[in-house]
Amino acid sequence: MKTFLCALVVVLSQSALAHDGHDAQITMPKEFDTVKSLVGTWQGTANMGGKEEAVTVVYELTSGGTAIAERLMPGTPHEMVSMYYKTHNTLGMTHYCAMGNQPQLMLKSKTPNSLTLEMAGPVGVSSMKEPHMHALTLTMSDANSLKQEWTSYENGKAKETAVFNFTRKQ
């Protein structure tokens, strides 16, 4: 009996280690593939406090191909991470903000060259009145151009939209 149990443990552990996250039953939404096409390093500019500043964003595929990590302004005091993933049958995203909250956004609309994600409720914030990033539009005019439009909310209303323009680093 002990030999059988040991053999079973070895087989199961090898099976778990060999699993690459690409289960035939997992179907990712098409919009996930759109974000996946951004994997790499992008350089650009954004208006920060009234002046144009250089910014970087990095996209990485992770978790066996089931999540995409976005690092905005990596290596700076304002670095923020967003994770894109499948939620139900659509694209979801959690934004780990420098403001100290983690708003969760869901795909709201799409066009052939853009995706808009927006909060559907107060998930990741203490209330909708708390300052937070409420919406994001990603626009890809071509394979090497990316525009991010982040809309912040405060006291339950849109406050401002920060625009980042990026070019894929070659």
Amino acid in position 125? V
In this prediction, residue 49 carries a pLDDT of: 78
Q: How confident is the model at residue 1 (pLDDT cuts 50, 70, 90)?
A: low
The total domain count for the chain is 1
In a domain, 65, yes or no: yes
Cα–Cα distance between 11 and 101 in angstroms, integer? 42
Say if 21 falls within a structural domain. no
pLDDT 10s digits, 91-110: 999 999 999 999 999 999 99
Residue with tokens 């005091």: 77
In a domain, 15, yes or no: no
* Reported confidence tier of residue 44, pLDDT bands at 50, 70, 90: very high
pTM of the model: 0.84
User: pLDDT band at residue 14, thresholds of 50, 70 and 90?
Assistant: very low
The CATH number given to whatever domain includes residue 109 is: 2.40.128.20
What's the CA gap between 102 and 19, in Å, rounded? 30
Task: Give the model's confidence band at 25: pLDDT under 50 very low, under 70 low, under 90 confident, else very high.
Answer: low
pLDDT confidence band for 36 (50 / 70 / 90): very high
In a domain, 119, yes or no: yes
Domain that holds residue 65: 29-168
Q: Does any domain span residue 152?
A: yes
